[in-house]
C-alpha cells in the first residue's frame, strides 16, 4: 500500500509539473503511451537554449514499447571518439557559398583547393574517382567542408524537408547582443522562419531562426544570452530528423558510449510553427553531447518525414556526411557494426590518417577518421566551450 501511495503521489506530481511546462512554453504536451512512474528529482532541460522544467517522475514505457526501442548492445572495446571532425556540405557554386558561410556567418577559411578523391569517399559515392573544388572552414569548435563537384559528377535530389528524414541542419550559435542573421541574409540566406527574424521559442530570451543557403541546405541561427565561446560565432549542433527517435538516438548512444542528456515529446505551439515555417508542428526531440558539439535528433509527428530512408546522393546539393574523429578506427568499425550500422567502404589509408564510411540505421552517411592527436587538423586542436 505504501508503494501504491507513492506511485499515486508521483502520478499527481507528473500532472502538476506537466502543467507547469505547458504554461511555460504556451503549448500542450500529450499524455503519451501507457507507462508506470517512479519518483525522481525535478530536473531542468534545455531545448536549444530554452530552459524547461521536466517531470519529477521518470516515465517508463510499456514492456512492448521497451522491447521495440531498447538501444542495441555493443560488446567491443570502449568508444574512442574524440568528436565531430567536420560536417560536409555539397554546393554548386563555391564562391557563392563562401560569401555566405565565410562572409555572412563568419566561419574562418582554413584552405581552398582542388580536390581529387579515389578512396573511401569516392567508393561511398559509387565512383572510381571524385573531382571538384573544396573549401575547409572552421569555427572555434568544429569544421565545415564545402565541396563543389565537377559538373559532370553532380546529381540531383529534392531539397531536404524540415521534417527529414536525414541531416536537416547545423546550428550556428552567437551572441544575443551581436546577431548574425542580418549579415547572413545580406550574403544570400533565405529565411524559413516566418517574419524573417529570430523567434523567442519558449519565452526565455534565446532566439531561433531557420534559413536555407543558396542550394537549399537548411541552417539554424541561434542567439544565446550566455555565450559559450569568446568568439562571435560557434557551431552548436548538427541535427538529424528521423521517423524513429529512440531507434536512431539509441544507435549513436551505443556507438559512442554516451547517454542522451534530455528528451522532450509533444512539442507544439505557435512559436514552433513560426520558427520552422510549417503549420501544425508536433515534434519530439533528444540530444547527445560529444566533446566538441551536440547531436540533435527530431521526430516529427506532424508533418511526418518524407519517407523512411535518409540516403541521398553524395554529390547532390545539401548535407552529405558527418565525419567523426576516433583514436582507434578498427574498434569503432566493430562498434558501428554491432549497433546495426553498415560499413559501406573499405578503409582508405592516406599519409596521416585512415578513414571509412558507414550508414546509420536511417541511412545517413557517417565517416570515421583516425589521425594523430597532434595533427593540426585534429579535433584535439579545437576547443571546448570557454564557459
The tens digit of pLDDT for each residue in 63-100 reads: 333 333 444 555 678 999 999 999 999 999 999 999 99
Contact present, 84 and 326 (Cβ < 8 Å):
no
3-state secondary structure of 304: coil
Please check the confidence at residue 27 and state whether its pLDDT lies above 60. no
Unique residue bearing C-alpha cell 571518439: 81
pLDDT tens-digit profile of 235-244?
A: 999 999 999 9
pLDDT at 241: 98
Give the residue carrying C-alpha cell 521495440: 68
Taking only the tens place, the pLDDT of each residue in 243-276 is 999 999 999 999 999 999 899 999 999 999 999 9
CA distance 36 to 146: 48
Answer yes or no: is pLDDT of 227 > 90. no
Question: Is beta strand 365-370 parallel, antiparallel or unpaired with respect to 318-326?
Answer: parallel
The residue written with cell numbers 515555417 in the block is 277
At residue 69, the pLDDT reads 44
| pLDDT attached to residue 35 | 33
Mean pLDDT of 273-294: 96
Distance CA 204, CA 24 (A): 9
Instruction: Please give the domain boundaries of the chain with CATH numbers for all domains.
Output: 2-69 (no CATH), 81-381 (3.10.180.10)
Mean pLDDT is lowest, of 194-198, 200-204, 342-346, 372-376, for 200-204
What's the CA gap between 225 and 326, in Å, rounded? 33
- Supply the DSSP symbol for 24: H
d(CA 216, CA 159): 6
Q: pLDDT at position 311, please?
A: 95
Q: With a cut of 90, say whether residue 14 has pLDDT above it.
A: no
pLDDT of residue 350: 84
User: What grid cell was written down for 285?
Assistant: 526531440
Residue 368: count other Cβ atoms within 10 Å of its Cβ.
Answer: 26
Q: What is the Cβ-side half-sphere exposure of residue 322, based on CA atoms within 13 angstroms?
A: 22
Instruction: Output helix, strand, coil percentages for the chain, rounded to the nearest 5.
Output: 25, 35, 40
Q: What angle do CA 225, 226, 231 make, to 5 degrees?
A: 105
Is the pLDDT assigned to residue 360 strictly greater than 50?
yes
* Contact (Cβ atoms closer than 8 angstroms) between residue 35 and residue 58: no
How much is the pLDDT for 386? 61
Amino acid at each position: 500500500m505504501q508503494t501504491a501511495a507513492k506511485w499515486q503521489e508521483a502520478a499527481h506530481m507528473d500532472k502538476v509539473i506537466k502543467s507547469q511546462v505547458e504554461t511555460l512554453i504556451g503549448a500542450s504536451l500529450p499524455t503519451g503511451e501507457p507507462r508506470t512512474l517512479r519518483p525522481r528529482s525535478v530536473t531542468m532541460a534545455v531545448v536549444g537554449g530554452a530552459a524547461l522544467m521536466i517531470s519529477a517522475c521518470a516515465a517508463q514505457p510499456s514492456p512492448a514499447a521497451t522491447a521495440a526501442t531498447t538501444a542495441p548492445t555493443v560488446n567491443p572495446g570502449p568508444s574512442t571518439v574524440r568528436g565531430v571532425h567536420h560536417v560536409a556540405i555539397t554546393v554548386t557554386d563555391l564562391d557563392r557559398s563562401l560569401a555566405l558561410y565565410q562572409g555572412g556567418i563568419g566561419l574562418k577559411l582554413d584552405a581552398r583547393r582542388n580536390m581529387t578523391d579515389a578512396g573511401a569517399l569516392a567508393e561511398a559515392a559509387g565512383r572510381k574517382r571524385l573531382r571538384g573544388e573544396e573549401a575547409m572552414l572552421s569555427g572555434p569548435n568544429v569544421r565545415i567542408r564545402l565541396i563543389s563537384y565537377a559538373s559532370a559528377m553532380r546529381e540531383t535530389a529534392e531539397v531536404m524537408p524540415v521534417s527529414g528524414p536525414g541531416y536537416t541542419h547545423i546550428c550556428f550559435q552567437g551572441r544575443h547582443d551581436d546577431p548574425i542573421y542580418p549579415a547572413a541574409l545580406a550574403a544570400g540566406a533565405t529565411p524559413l522562419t516566418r517574419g524573417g527574424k529570430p523567434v523567442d521559442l519558449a519565452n526565455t530570451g534565446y532566439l531561433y531562426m531557420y534559413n536555407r543557403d543558396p542550394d537549399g541546405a537548411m541552417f539554424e541561427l541561434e542567439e544565446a544570452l550566455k555565450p559559450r565561446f569568446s568568439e562571435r560565432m560557434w557551431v552548436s549542433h548538427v541535427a538529424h530528423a528521423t521517423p524513429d527517435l529512440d531507434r536512431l538516438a539509441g544507435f549513436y548512444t551505443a556507438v559512442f558510449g554516451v547517454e542522451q542528456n534530455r528528451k522532450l515529446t509533444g512539442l507544439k505551439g505557435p512559436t514552433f510553427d513560426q520558427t520552422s515555417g510549417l503549420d501544425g508542428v508536433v515534434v519530439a526531440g533528444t540530444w547527445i553531447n560529444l566533446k566538441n558539439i551536440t547531436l540533435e535528433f527530431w521526430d516529427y509527428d506532424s508533418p511526418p518525414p518524407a519517407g523512411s530512408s535518409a540516403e541521398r546522393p553524395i554529390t547532390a546539393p545539401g548535407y552529405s556526411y558527418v565525419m567523426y574523429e576516433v583514436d582507434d578506427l578498427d574498434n569503432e568499425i566493430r562498434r558501428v557494426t554491432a549497433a546495426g550500422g553498415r560499413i559501406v567502404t573499405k578503409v582508405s589509408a592516406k599519409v596521416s590518417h585512415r578513414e571509412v564510411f558507414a550508414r546509420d540505421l536511417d541511412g545517413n552517411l557517417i565517416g570515421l577518421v583516425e589521425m594523430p592527436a597532434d595533427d593540426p587538423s585534429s579535433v584535439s586542436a579545437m576547443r571546448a566551450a570557454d564557459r
